[in-house]
Amino acid sequence: MSEAAAERPEDVLARSAGGDPSAFESIVREHQGMVFSMAYHFLRNRALAEELAQDVFLSLYQNISAIKSPAHLVHWLRRVTSHRCLDQARRQKLRSHLSLEAVQEPAVMHAQPDVILSRRLARMVSSLPEKARMVVILRYQEDLHPFEIAEVLEMPINTVKSHLRRSLAMLREKLSATMGERSYE
């Protein structure tokens, strides 16, 4: 176990705020998956997602002294990443290509995870409107409750719930059409 890993997160944060590059590296490695995944699931492009994630960490470096605790750090990263993604989408008027063809198929259950279904579902998510998309990502990637999502996105909680409800209904409908009958009710 590395020295950084044995340290308390608060101490790593303090060292990083003091300008210790190894401490900041430790923070990057710990949270890069979260930040990258949020960007990737939103943008559906690895290169763009990595660039956005890099920007977020550079911004973190500049503002590390404002981070009060490890929990605050996670919240800050989620908030900044979400807003950067939304800004990026607005700039690019991003709309993922989504093939919505329905194939009436019998439901097929697989013991192994269905990689291709996951990828299709992830693409369906990326075709949702931007704010709804980020709500779904925060809900299912980060496992946040609606009130936490509301805090991150600075959005009323009822709006979060509305986005979730509509998005799930849309995804359910598309998947039911693809997978057949009542698989996703």
Partner 1 sequence: MNRYRGILIKTFLIAAAGIFAAPVYGQDAKLDLGHLDGLAAKASQVIDVTVDQKVINLALKFLSEKRSPDEAKIKEIISGLKGVYVKSFEFEKEGEYSMTDIESVRNQLKTPAWAMIVGVSSKNKGENVDVYLATTGERVDGVVVIASDPKHLTVVDMVGSIDPEKISELAGHYGMPKLDLIFHKKGKE
Partner 2 sequence: MSKLDEELRAALKREEPSADFAYRVLAQVRTLPPPKPGWRNSLLTLLRPPKLVWVAAGLAACLLIALGVQGLRGYERQAAETQKVIAGDARPAQQDAAPITQGTTAQPPPEVAPQPEPEMISRHIRHHRRSVVKEDPDEMEARKAMEQLELALYIASTKLNAAQKAVYGVDNPEK
> Looking at 55, 114, 130, 148, which residue binds partner 1 (CB under 8 A)?
114
The continuous run of DSSP H or E covering 29 comes out as helix 21-43
Residue type, 162: S
User: Binds 32, which of partner 2, partner 1, none (CB < 5 to 8 A, cut-off by type)?
Assistant: partner 2
Minimum CB–partner distance for residue 66 and partner 2 (Å): 5
Binding to partner 2 (CB under 8 A): which residues in 56-95?
Answer: 57-59, 61-66, 68, 88, 91-92
Listed in sequence order, the residues at least 6 apart from 33 whose beta carbon sits closer than 8 Å to its beta carbon are none
> Looking at 1, 8, 97, 154, which residue binds partner 2 (CB under 8 A)?
97
Minimum CB–partner distance for residue 67 and partner 2 (Å): 9
Q: What is the DSSP letter of 64?
A: G
C-alpha angle 40/46/48, rounded to 5°?
85
Listed in sequence order, the residues at least 6 apart from 111 whose beta carbon sits closer than 8 Å to its beta carbon are none
Q: Is residue 56 a contact partner of residue 73, using CB atoms and an 8 Å limit?
A: no
Minimum CB–partner distance for residue 107 and partner 1 (Å): 12
Binding site for partner 1 (CB under 8 A): 99, 101-104, 108, 110-117
